[in-house]
Amino acid sequence: MKMKHVLLALAVLAGLATPASAQTEKSKRPRVAVLEFKAPKEAWSGWGWYWNHDSQARMSSVLQDLFVTELSEAGSGKIRLIERERLQEIRQEQAFGQSGEVDTASAVKLGKLLGVKYMITGKITRFAYDKKGFSTGWGAGVLVGKLTKDPLAGAVAGSVDIKKANFDGRLDARVIDVETGEIVGTAWAEHKEGNVGVKVAGTGNEFQYDQSLVNKVFEPCVKEMTPKLVQKIMQDQ
């Protein structure tokens, strides 16, 4: 009976010690924050008039979310990520810009305010758009209208615009040690995406920036880069 009591006591003590041990282990993991990824004007090739600061801000936001999601998986059990909302609070309190590339000095300052060990930031170095295709033109619309005796059918046929669009993107990232200001690791990746757009009777849209497009082009890049970034962090420990 005494032996059973001893074993039971040991089991209870082990159960009580596990949460504290797990908490201690978790506290040893380096804290990491992800900044926005700048989408500078010079990186946009072939977009023409559509490039604007709103598009840049939205792309930066999407990429930040993608990196946080992938890092939380690739770095599970290795790093601790700071919530984006907390980062935004600090930026607002300290009057930092809300989008765009952050230089190393600013990243270090932000990191110290957040109490993190590493900051991850970077930029879009290429987001190119190339299109090829054909349009039926006004003449085809007139012909269809006469044959069908339907003005609407003629209008539709006269505005069919089919284009082949190719997208090419590249991301560059770096890991900054907040304590030293040193760049302890870098990573880059690129991806090409092809698609077909159809514009009918002026009611459709040619390819433009949207979140789904950014995901198609840059999500493969983020997936490729995040294990490398986590590895750089772990090697610096």
Could you give the domains of the chain?
30-126+169-189+210-235 (3.40.50)
Convert the pLDDT of each residue in 165-213 to its tens digit: 778 899 999 999 999 999 999 999 999 987 645 444 444 444 455 567 7
* pLDDT of the residue at 232: 95
- Higher pLDDT, residue 24 or 137: 24
Q: How confident is the model at residue 33 (pLDDT cuts 50, 70, 90)?
A: very high
Model-level pTM?
Answer: 0.71
Is the CB of residue 90 less than 8 Å from the CB of residue 133? Answer: no
Distance CA 82, CA 90 (A): 12
Per-residue pLDDT reduced to its tens digit, 69-109: 999 999 999 999 998 888 888 877 766 655 445 678 888 88
| 3-class secondary-structure state, position 197 | strand
Output the pLDDT for position 42. 76
Q: Which residues lie closer than 8 Å to 212 by C-beta, 6 or more apart? A: none
- DSSP, res 29: S
**What's the confidence (pLDDT) of residue 23?**
56
Look at 19-28, 93-102, 113-122 and tell me which has the smallest mean pLDDT: 93-102
- Kindly list the distances between the CA atom of residue 73 and the CA atoms of 98, 124, 164, 187, 225, in Å, as whole numbers in the listed order: 26, 22, 35, 17, 13
- The values of phi and psi at residue 148, to 5°, are -95, -15
> What phi-psi label fits residue 183: left (phi over 0), alpha (psi between -120 and 50 degrees) or beta?
beta
Residue 122, beta-bridge partner list = 37, 173
The 10s digit of each residue's pLDDT in 118-168 is: 999 998 998 887 766 545 444 444 443 444 455 544 444 445 555 667 788
CB atoms within 10 A of CB 216: 16
119: β partners:
33, 176
Helix (H) or strand (E) holding 150: none
User: Which pLDDT score is estimated for 127?
Assistant: 86
pLDDT at 102: 67
Contact status, residue 61 vs residue 214, Cβ threshold 8 Å: no
